[in-house]
Amino acid sequence: MKYVRMPIEIESPEQMGYSTIKNNLSESSYTDTIFKDLNLNMNELVICYGDHVGHPGLRKEILKGEASNLTIEDVLVTAGAAPALFMVSTSLLEAGDELVVAKPNYATNIETPKAIGASIKYLPMTFENKYQVDIEALKKLITPKTKLVSLTCPHNPTGTMISETDLKEIIKIVEASNANLLFDETYRDMSFKFKLPIAASLSERVISVSSLSKTYGLPGIRIGWLITQNKKLQELFLAAKEQIFICGSVVDEEIAYRYLVNRNDYFPAIKKDMLEKFEIVKSWMGTQKYFDWIEPSGGVVCFPRIKPELKVDTAKFYEKLLAEYKTYVGPGHWFEESDRSFRLGFGWPSQQELKDGLKGLEAALKDSLL
Ligand SMILES: Cc1ncc(COP(=O)(O)O)c(C=O)c1O
């Protein structure tokens, strides 16, 4: 493995220091939860090694309310979605192995296969194609040697979604090949137009990955999971987990379990706020004249771009945005894209910070026109 630090992590607000940022529009999750608000008394918890697969009650809660054939045996709890993605890639890919991965994407989905030395074929998702998965292009990229197809939905950084019909067609294509489908559905609970079934429930060849970080604002407890109906693969992923972690943190798993048991106390307010924030961005998009976008269908991020006809000093734009307007977004290079596009996270800041940040974007752009 050849590890290289990713710009999205080096330049992340928690690494840069929050003190310089007032309007943080760079995050990809909902506002962080305060522990006190969960009203948890965990004094009796035994700090032991936990169940290697993960807290059985938590696995049950993860599947609660899902109309699917999945059982808790299909769920492996991981320390966030990122380790689940890592475990899938390192278990299924070796140097030189082929995979097809959508680009842009959440950086780990690309960087881990790179670190392994896999042979990556990118499936481009473009503004012109409304950041949709191009199924015909995907078909052409899959060969008998393809080991893995890797997609993210709702998509990071654009918030676009694959329809259920398309997902089923993609699964058929994958089933006709020698590959498995890694489906990163970390933002699934935040889908606001339609919600897909858990992709792993549709085929033994699909591995779903998700977490509590984004929708519920709980990234600090590091709880995610992967789901597969394929028992052999599940055994392989458990072996990977045991070699890296042995088991998860019993403290994190207990918090996650209790949170999910009571999710109806928290989630309606989160959803309402998230939709209001989405409307703030949507109406701003309609009134300003510098940026265009593909409207997202889920998640808390979108990927606007500076209108192509505008001549702009992009370095100055980001500098001014932070130095003068105290506003931070995720520039395109976090996703190996042009800095004329940027990820705008609308779920994390307060509604006022979001409005101020959007004003800042307009002002910084105006200052940077050539
Ligand atoms: C699409 C996607 N997958 C996975 C992750 C990793 O999340 P975590 O490890 O906090 O669950 C992220 C975080 O930004 C993400 O955006």
The pTM score is 0.96
pLDDT digits 0-9 by tens, 69-89? 999 999 999 999 999 999 999
Whether residue 186 has its Cβ less than 6 Å from ligand 1? yes
Question: Which regions of the chain carry the CATH code 3.40.640.10?
Answer: 43-261
Q: What is the mean pLDDT of residues 137-162?
A: 97
The pLDDT of residue 209 is 98
Q: Is the dihedral of CA 146, 152, 157, 159 positive or negative?
A: positive
CA of 369 to the centre of ligand 1 (A): 34
* Burial (CB count <10 Å: 0-12, 13-18, 19+), residue 62: buried
- Of all protein residues, whose CA lies closest to atom 3 belonging to ligand 1? 186
The pLDDT of residue 264 is 95
Query: Residue 18: pLDDT above 80?
Result: no
Report yes or no: 303 and 126 within 8 Å, Cβ to Cβ.
no
CA separation for the pair 223, 213 (Å, rounded): 7
Whether residue 335 has its Cβ less than 6 Å from ligand 1? no
- Residue 175: closest CA among 201, 154, 206, 152: 206
Q: CA 132: distance to chain centroid? A: 16
Q: What is the mean pLDDT of residues 262-269?
A: 95
What atom in ligand 1 is closest to the CA of residue 109?
Answer: 3
pLDDT digits 0-9 by tens, 110-130? 999 999 999 999 999 999 999
Whether residue 93 has its Cβ less than 6 Å from ligand 1? no
The pLDDT of residue 230 is 98
Mean pLDDT for the chain? 96
What atom in ligand 1 is closest to the CA of residue 82?
Answer: 9
Question: Which regions of the chain carry the CATH code 3.90.1150.10?
Answer: 7-28+267-367
pLDDT digits 0-9 by tens, 26-63? 999 999 999 999 999 999 999 999 999 999 999 999 99
Whether residue 219 has its Cβ less than 6 Å from ligand 1? yes
Query: Residue 207: pLDDT above 90?
Result: yes
pLDDT digits 0-9 by tens, 280-326? 999 999 999 999 999 999 999 999 999 999 999 999 999 999 999 99
Q: Which residues is 102 bridged to in the sheet?
A: 123
The pLDDT of residue 20 is 84
Q: What is the mean pLDDT of residues 237-246?
A: 97
**Residue with structure tokens 């278990």?**
91
Q: Which of 111, 211, 249 to mutate to test the pocket of ligand 1 (most atoms within 8 A of CB)?
A: 211
Q: What is the CATH number of domain 43-261?
A: 3.40.640.10
154: left (phi over 0), alpha (psi -120 to 50) or beta: beta
CA of 202 to the centre of ligand 1 (A): 22
Fold for domain 7-28+267-367? Aspartate Aminotransferase, domain 1 (3.90.1150)
Of 348 and 7, which is predicted with more confidence?
A: 348
Q: What is the mean pLDDT of residues 205-215?
A: 97
CA separation for the pair 296, 111 (Å, rounded): 24
Interior angle at CA 102, CA 100 and CA 107, nearest 5:
105
* pLDDT above 90: percentage of residues in the chain: 93
Confidence at 252, pLDDT banded by 50, 70, 90? very high
CA of 184 to the centre of ligand 1 (A): 8
Whether residue 184 has its Cβ less than 6 Å from ligand 1? yes
pLDDT digits 0-9 by tens, 162-194? 999 999 999 999 999 999 999 999 999 999 889
Report yes or no: 230 and 179 within 8 Å, Cβ to Cβ.
no
Whether residue 89 has its Cβ less than 6 Å from ligand 1? no
